[in-house]
């Protein structure tokens, strides 16, 4: 049996064998369009491979033909089953004939690097095969991040199995079942193509009367991750005349190093406005898109790149073709008008901080902090407010987008929005007053723009930003543990399929909002219902412990800043300066019951058979505060479990000078909270948008403090993690963290793949320097 197919040899009957992505590119290639010639490992080969795997669990023996059913409301079960299936796939042996064909492909080609991408089809497809199924093509793409590897058989086979395994990630299993699509109806092939360095990369898509082009220099990492702002152009759909242009800002550039098969990353010191493409480039892109649409008879979104050719003009290549979504973004009249320069905006545009990626157009609902939100309707709306109190979590699950006057990327409202994948723009001056005058708004959480619309051109729309998992970089295995920051159980089903070493930060105060029923934890104790609250917490924490086992979960005890929870019934009065007020372990000395009920919950999780749950104490100012909490931990009985660890957050500057004393008192590890540490070292309120430019973790004082904490922890023989926003906002810091001796890095789910790649790149760079 033929295991692989060349794009130039495919026919219209091969779609189910090779999937829609490869089949569509084959149609383009055979139609004379510039597509890199590649090969496809067929879906039939994958099915036969699954049948050959030695399954330890009888449930999976007939996996290629089974209709596995999972309880999607049980993330723990979902994650555990996904892990079993994927590990068995990675341990399996590829058929000999497939290995021979892959070796032949590598031997015939000269490219040092190859890219692998999933190509999917459904067994039951629309009658007209030219019409791609929007479910399988437009929506499922986020489940299967592309990966690159060096041109050798060992790496290629490993990455091929990794790609296959992604079909059985928890996120993927959840996705197909929710859409009522049976796994045996999903045909998964893998497209292999040589990868070349790019001068510029981007997308082009047809709108109603225009073509929208987005572009950034280098490879497509920055565009898919939302790093920097792409240059955006609008062309007339018929003449391809340039109608409008907004210069982007380049903050990160990715380029291919063919000698090492790795991606080289550069970060300009100052993000300069850049239009990236010339008018001839735009004309070439517009012409190519129009020709593809004429051949394939439908509106398309085309991914493209320009490659520099020796002694010739850069060449345009088509890398992917997708059907245009039925929900089109606003066209030029609703977008910023360039009148006073490349980046000028009209008065219909508000500008703030890009707090959570994605875009949405929806009706506006403006509320004030004094209004009873329980009596309002927010379904699929743009929520506009002065700020987002933490207790609004239940209503945030309903909204399509968020706009606030206050807040920053490090505030709790932004953290919640990113975890729930809600586009958000924060720190928008005058947002409440301005948006009260309109019926609809377009929120761009990637650029930090809010468009005021009175008559929307389309129904409610929601565009989630492309996930930050565009490409997995081939490099040596990582030695630094990568962990994840979580607060909501449903997020477990959306974790990417990369090696994770646990939950480095379980934000208990946000987790607790799902069980508090609108009442402050103090109220539960005062009403004699502390045991009930402990039981509710136990159920929630156990979901994480079960899903992540045997890896650790670091439960951070509640850090109740008064201004974030004053909307809860029974909450104490709001303080004048809550960031420096009654919070952290100081609060537990005043109210031991608040910590004790959480310790009871952790003890119950231990009693249920999960020994991987640890405690992380928040905002510890003094050794005496730690000793008090440590005594409560001992009295609760948690120390009887030899695996239990008691850590503390290193976010108050006093820890810089007192870490040896903390360790002597019983601290077993620290986690650096860069948000509070930066705030206190620089005297900058992290929640004030006006001070966003002054809140910079790259400041020398912050960098020296982080280095000192890591190195001191290493000298004292305890692990040191970091769980703040710094490695996400500034990936270049990862190499410094590794050099200083960091034990683990914990980040938000949306940043996991990017951080994983940053770790691999940093380790490769350090290893290369060490060899030299």
By residue count, the chain amounts to 772
Say if residue 296 is in the same domain as residue 353.
no
What is the C-alpha to C-alpha distance for residues 169 and 167, in angstroms, rounded to an integer? Answer: 6
- Inside any domain, residue 336: no
Say if residue 141 is in the same domain as residue 214.
no
- Inside any domain, residue 332: no
pLDDT of residue 301: 87
Can you tell me whether residue 755 is helix, strand or coil?
helix
Q: 604 or 769, which is more confident?
A: 604
CATH of the domain at 273: 3.30.470.20
Summarize pLDDT for 84-124 with one digit per residue, the tens.
788 888 888 898 889 999 999 888 877 888 889 999 888 76
Say if residue 428 is in the same domain as residue 481.
no
Say if residue 221 is in the same domain as residue 275.
yes
Say if residue 215 is in the same domain as residue 189.
no
Average pLDDT of the residues in 574-590: 86
pLDDT at 671 over 80: yes
Burial 305-315 (b: 16+ CB within 10 A, else e): bbeeeeeeeee
Last residue of a domain, one of 139, 168, 194: 194
CATH of the domain at 713: 3.20.20.60
Query: Can you tell me which residue has the tokens 């041109």?
Result: 151
What is the C-alpha to C-alpha distance for residues 169 and 143, in angstroms, rounded to an integer? Answer: 8
- Inside any domain, residue 606: yes
Q: How confident is residue 229, by pLDDT bands cut at 50, 70 and 90?
A: low
- Inside any domain, residue 426: yes
pLDDT at 211 over 60: yes
Can you tell me whether residue 316 is helix, strand or coil?
strand
Last residue of a domain, one of 394, 429, 463: 463
Say if residue 652 is in the same domain as residue 526.
yes
Q: Which two tokens stand for residue 395?
A: 């209503």
pLDDT of residue 129: 38
- Inside any domain, residue 339: no
CATH of the domain at 364: 3.50.30.10
Say if residue 759 is in the same domain as residue 620.
yes
Summarize pLDDT for 365-403 with one digit per residue, the tens.
998 766 666 546 677 889 998 888 767 777 787 888 999
pLDDT of residue 266: 63
**pTM given for the model:** 0.53
Say if residue 158 is in the same domain as residue 175.
yes
Window from 242-251, 439-448, 696-705 with minimum mean pLDDT? 242-251
* Half-sphere exposure of residue 516: CA atoms within 13 angstroms, side-chain side: 25
Q: 57 or 536, which is more confident?
A: 536
What secondary structure does DSSP assign to 665-721, as a single string?
TT---EEE-HHHHHHHHHT--TT-GGGTTT--TTSHHHHHHHHHHHHHHHHHT--EE
Last residue of a domain, one of 163, 194, 225: 194
* Half-sphere exposure of residue 712: CA atoms within 13 angstroms, side-chain side: 19
Report the candidate in 329, 336, 131, 361 with the shortest Cα–Cα distance to residue 212.
329
DSSP at 519? B
State the average pLDDT for the chain: 80
pLDDT at 525 over 70: yes
Q: Is 765 left (phi over 0), alpha (psi -120 to 50) or beta?
A: alpha
φ, ψ (nearest 5 deg) of residue 71? -80, 100
For the chain, give percent helix, strand, coil, nearest 5.
Answer: 40, 20, 40
pLDDT of residue 331: 36
For residue 363, the enclosing domain spans 347-463
Say if residue 644 is in the same domain as residue 557.
yes
Say if residue 53 is in the same domain as residue 98.
yes
Say if residue 622 is in the same domain as residue 550.
yes
pLDDT at 27 over 50: yes
Burial 40-72 (b: 16+ CB within 10 A, else e): bbbbbbbbebbeebebeeeebeebbeeebebeb
pLDDT at 526 over 50: yes
Average pLDDT of the residues in 444-473: 58
Q: Which two tokens stand for residue 564?
A: 């974030």
- Inside any domain, residue 512: yes
- Inside any domain, residue 338: no
Q: 362 or 266, which is more confident?
A: 362
Say if residue 649 is in the same domain as residue 704.
yes
To 10 degrees, the CA torsion angle through 416, 489, 73, 377?
-20
Q: 470 or 191, which is more confident?
A: 191
Structural domains counted in the chain: 4
Average pLDDT of the residues in 717-725: 92
Residue 634 CB partners (closer than 8 Å, separation 6+): none
pLDDT at 240 over 60: yes
pLDDT of residue 514: 82
* Half-sphere exposure of residue 474: CA atoms within 13 angstroms, side-chain side: 28
- Inside any domain, residue 329: no
CATH of the domain at 173: 3.30.1490.20
Q: 170 or 337, which is more confident?
A: 170
- The percentage of residues in the chain with a pLDDT greater than 90, rounded to a whole number, is 29
Q: 14 or 143, which is more confident?
A: 14
Q: How confident is residue 649, by pLDDT bands cut at 50, 70 and 90?
A: very high
Average pLDDT of the residues in 527-551: 93
pLDDT of residue 26: 92
What is the C-alpha to C-alpha distance for residues 577 and 579, in angstroms, rounded to an integer? Answer: 6
Q: Which two tokens stand for residue 272?
A: 């300069």
pLDDT of residue 103: 92
What is the C-alpha to C-alpha distance for residues 165 and 118, in angstroms, rounded to an integer? Answer: 11
Average pLDDT of the residues in 69-91: 69
């Amino acid at each position: 049996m033929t295991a692989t197919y060349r794009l130039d040899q495919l026919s219209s009957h091969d779609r189910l064998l090779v999937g829609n992505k490869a089949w569509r590119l084959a149609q383009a290639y055979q139609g004379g369009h510039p597509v890199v010639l590649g090969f496809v490992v067929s879906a039939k080969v994958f099915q036969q491979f699954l049948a050959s795997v030695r399954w330890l669990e009888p449930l999976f023996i007939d996996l290629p033909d089974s209709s596995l059913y999972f309880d999607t409301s049980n993330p723990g079960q979902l994650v555990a089953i996904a892990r079993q299936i994927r590990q068995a796939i990675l341990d399996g042996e590829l058929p000999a004939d497939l290995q021979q064909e892959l070796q032949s492909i590598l031997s015939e080609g000269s490219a040092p690097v190859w890219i692998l991408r999933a190509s999917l089809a459904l067994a039951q497809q629309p009658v007209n095969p030219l019409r791609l199924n929007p479910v399988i093509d437009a929506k499922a793409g986020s489940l299967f991040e592309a990966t690159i590897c060096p041109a050798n058989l060992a790496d290629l086979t490993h990455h091929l199995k990794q790609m296959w395994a992604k079909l059985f990630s928890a996120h993927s299993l959840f996705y197909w079942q929710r859409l009522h699509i049976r796994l045996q109806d999903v045909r998964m092939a893998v497209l292999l193509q040589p990868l070349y360095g790019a001068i510029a990369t981007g997308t082009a898509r047809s709108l109603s009367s225009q073509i929208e082009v987005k572009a950034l220099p280098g490879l497509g990492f920055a565009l898919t991750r939302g790093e920097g702002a792409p240059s955006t152009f609008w062309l007339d759909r018929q003449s391809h005349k340039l109608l409008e242009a907004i210069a982007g800002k380049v903050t990160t550039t990715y380029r291919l190093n063919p000698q090492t098969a790795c991606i080289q990353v550069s970060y300009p010191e100052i993000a300069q406005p850049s239009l990236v493409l010339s008018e001839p480039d735009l004309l070439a892109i517009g012409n190519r898109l129009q020709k593809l649409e004429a051949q394939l008879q439908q509106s398309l979104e085309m991914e493209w790149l320009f490659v520099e050719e020796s002694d010739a003009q850069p060449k345009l290549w088509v890398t992917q073709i997708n059907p245009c979504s039925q929900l089109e973004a606003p066209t030029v009249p609703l977008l910023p008008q360039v009148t006073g320069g490349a980046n000028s905006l009209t008065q219909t545009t508000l500008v703030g901080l890009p707090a959570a990626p994605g875009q949405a157009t929806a009706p506006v609902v403006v509320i004030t902090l004094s209004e009873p939100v329980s009596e309002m309707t927010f379904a699929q709306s743009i929520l506009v407010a002065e700020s987002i109190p933490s207790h609004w979590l239940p209503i945030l699950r309903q909204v399509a987008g968020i706009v606030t006057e206050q807040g920053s990327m490090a505030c709790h409202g932004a953290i919640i929005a990113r975890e729930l994948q809600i586009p958000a723009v924060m720190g928008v001056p005058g947002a409440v007053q301005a948006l009260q005058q309109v019926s609809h708004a377009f929120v761009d959480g990637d650029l930090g723009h809010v468009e005021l619309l009175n008559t929307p051109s389309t129904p409610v729309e929601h565009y989630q930003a492309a996930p930050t998992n565009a490409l997995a970089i081939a490099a040596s295995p990582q030695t630094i543990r990568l962990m994840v920051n979580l607060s909501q159980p449903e997020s477990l089903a959306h974790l990417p399929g990369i090696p994770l070493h646990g939950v480095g930060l379980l934000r208990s105060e946000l987790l607790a909002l799902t069980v508090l029923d609108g009442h402050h934890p103090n109220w539960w104790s005062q009403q004699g219902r502390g045991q009930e609250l402990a039981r509710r917490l136990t159920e929630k924490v156990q979901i994480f412990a079960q899903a992540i086992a045997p890896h650790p979960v670091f439960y951070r005890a509640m850090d109740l800043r008064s201004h974030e929870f004053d909307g809860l019934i029974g909450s104490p009065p709001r303080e004048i300066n809550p960031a420096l007020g009654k919070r952290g372990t100081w609060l537990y000395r005043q109210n031991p019951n608040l910590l004790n009920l959480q310790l009871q919950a952790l003890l119950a999780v231990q009693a249920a058979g999960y020994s991987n749950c640890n405690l992380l104490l928040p905002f510890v100012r003094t050794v005496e505060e730690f000793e008090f909490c440590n005594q409560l931990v001992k009295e609760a009985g948690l120390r009887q479990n030899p695996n239990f660890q008691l850590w503390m957050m290193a976010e108050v500057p006093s820890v810089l000078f007192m870490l040896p004393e903390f360790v002597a008192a019983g601290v077993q590890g620290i986690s650096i909270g860069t948000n509070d540490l930066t705030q206190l070292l620089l005297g900058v309120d992290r929640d004030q948008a006006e001070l966003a430019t002054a809140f910079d973790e790259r400041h020398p004082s912050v960098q020296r403090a982080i280095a000192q904490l890591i190195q001191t922890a290493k000298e004292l023989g305890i692990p040191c993690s970091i769980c703040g926003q710094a490695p996400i906002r500034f990936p270049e810091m990862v190499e410094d963290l590794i050099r200083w001796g960091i034990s683990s890095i914990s980040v938000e789910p949306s940043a996991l793949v990017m951080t994983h790649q940053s770790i691999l790149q940093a380790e490769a760079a350090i290893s290369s320097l060490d060899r030299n």
